[in-house]
């Protein structure tokens, strides 16, 4: 029987901690009763340097339910993506399969069972995908959806409407552990792992209590990180712009010279306008070119694993 770890990053979540612990323990009990996971499956709360009583509450929960509730305390606040990674990599050595979920229970805990079923069918990563965004404000919906579209345009593979509610098998986590990069954008990294994946669908609810720990500023930072960690397309765009302007320069040169010889220009205009176009184009092209090399260096220093061998057939 497979041991499940439900990994929950928590930052200032004192209002929701007990509610989340109860709801997730109920999920464990149900799955254990249905013989789908091992008896010693557990919930792993990761305290991301909370300033409130979150850690004390995790300790309390652990005391009352020592086998079912475990905790990891990070020394300071490192942000959702790092806290989740810390939890997943800790759980990897203690469990056969993990499910990551936010503490606020906005994601539907009832689809964890479907995730486990898909895991038993042989899927290594199962994405929780929001089928609707009814409860989000128009602003959140619009920004989030634009984000997925921009990501796709920039050539980053992500699962549409999937955040960080997902199941991962032990071997998927073992490969994930080889990614040493420190600009983390987990949603972009998971599709790089390979293996068979699947999705389950659910409606995202309101937070059970407390307020969002992801203000617009953090959301934009995450989006920016997502693009710049996975794509050097912005640099390629600059190079493209440089080339376009150099081409425009040739057209501008023809126009300026024709105007010059037909004689209806102010003296000095021709040489000025040509210099502006030419220098502008050459500069952008040069910046873009230098950027291409920096982009390559950036990709190299990540030391990402280049492939993931799933199986070798030998005698
Ligand atoms: N979180 C975290 N560290 C942070 C910010 C958030 O661990 O610095 C956790 C938070 O406790 C929650 C999850 O990340 O479990 C998602 O945050 P939230 O629900 O506030 O984001 P939203 O759903 O509003 O996008
Ligand atoms: Mg939330």
pLDDT at 309: 86
Q: Which domain holds residue 173?
A: 4-230+304-313
Which strands form 4-10's sheet, in the order they lie side by side? 69-73, 42-47, 4-10, 97-100, 162-169, 125-132, 197-203
- Would residue 45 count as lying in a domain? yes
> What average pLDDT does the segment 235-245 reach?
90
What band does 14 get if pLDDT is binned at 50, 70 and 90? very high
> What are the distances in angstroms from CA 118 to CA 68, 87, 97?
23, 22, 12
Residue 133 pLDDT > 70, yes or no?
Answer: no
Q: How far apart are CA 146 and CA 139, in angstroms?
A: 11
Q: Examine residue 75 and state whether it is found in any structural domain, yes or no.
A: yes
Q: In a mutational test of the pocket of ligand 1, which residue from 8, 77, 80 has the highest number of ligand atoms less than 8 Å from its CB?
A: 80
In a domain, 130, yes or no: yes
Counted domains in the chain: 1
Q: What is the position in ligand 1's atom list of the atom closest to the CA of 84?
A: 7
- pLDDT of 212: 83
Compute how many other C-beta atoms are within 10 angstroms of the C-beta atom of residue 70. 21
Q: Return the residue whose CA atom lies nearest to atom 16 of ligand 1.
A: 102
281 within a domain of the structure (yes/no):
no
pLDDT tens digits along 209-226: 888 888 888 888 888 888
CATH of the domain at 182: 3.90.550.10
Confidence of residue 158 (pLDDT cuts 50, 70, 90): confident
Is residue 132 included in any domain, yes or no? yes
Residue 67 is assigned to a structural domain of this protein: yes
Label residue 22 by pLDDT band (50, 70, 90).
very high
Q: Is residue 33 part of a domain?
A: yes
In a domain, 115, yes or no: yes
**Who wins on pLDDT, 302 or 57?**
57
Mean pLDDT computed over every residue of the chain? 91
Which pTM does this prediction carry? 0.85
Q: How far is CA 268 from the centre of its chain?
A: 54
């Amino acid at each position: 029987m497979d041991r499940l770890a439900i990994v929950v990053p928590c930052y200032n979540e004192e209002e929701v901690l007990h509610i989340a612990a109860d709801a997730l323990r109920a999920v464990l009990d149900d799955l254990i009763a249905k013989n789908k996971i091992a008896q010693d499956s557990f919930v792993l709360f990761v305290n991301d340097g909370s300033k409130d009583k979150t850690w004390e509450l995790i300790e309390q929960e652990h005391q009352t339910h020592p086998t079912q509730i475990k905790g990891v305390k990070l020394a300071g606040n490192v942000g959702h993506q790092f806290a989740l990674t810390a939890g997943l990599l800790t759980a990897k050595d203690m469990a056969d399969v993990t499910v990551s979920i936010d503490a606020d229970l906005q994601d539907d805990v009832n689809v964890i069972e479907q995730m486990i079923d898909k895991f038993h069918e042989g899927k290594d990563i199962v994405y929780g995908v929001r089928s609707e965004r009814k409860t989000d404000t128009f602003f959140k919906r619009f920004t989030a959806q634009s984000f997925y579209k921009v990501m796709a345009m920039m050539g980053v593979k992500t699962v549409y409407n999937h955040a960080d509610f997902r199941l991962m098998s032990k071997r998927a986590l073992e490969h994930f552990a080889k990614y040493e990069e420190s600009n983390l954008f987990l949603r972009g990294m998971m599709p790089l792992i390979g293996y068979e994946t699947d999705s389950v669908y659910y409606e995202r609810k309101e937070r059970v209590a407390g307020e969002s720990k992801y203000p617009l500023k953090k959301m934009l930072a995450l989006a920016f990180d997502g693009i710049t960690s996975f794509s050097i397309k912005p640099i390629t765009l600059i190079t493209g712009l440089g080339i376009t302007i150099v081409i425009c320069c040739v057209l501008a040169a023809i126009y300026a010279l024709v105007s010059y010889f037909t004689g209806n220009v102010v003296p000095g205009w021709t040489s000025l306008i040509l210099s502006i176009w030419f220098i502008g184009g050459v500069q952008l092209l040069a910046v873009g070119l230098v950027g291409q090399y920096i982009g390559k260096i950036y990709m190299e220093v990540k030391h990402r694993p280049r492939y993931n061998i799933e199986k070798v057939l030998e005698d």
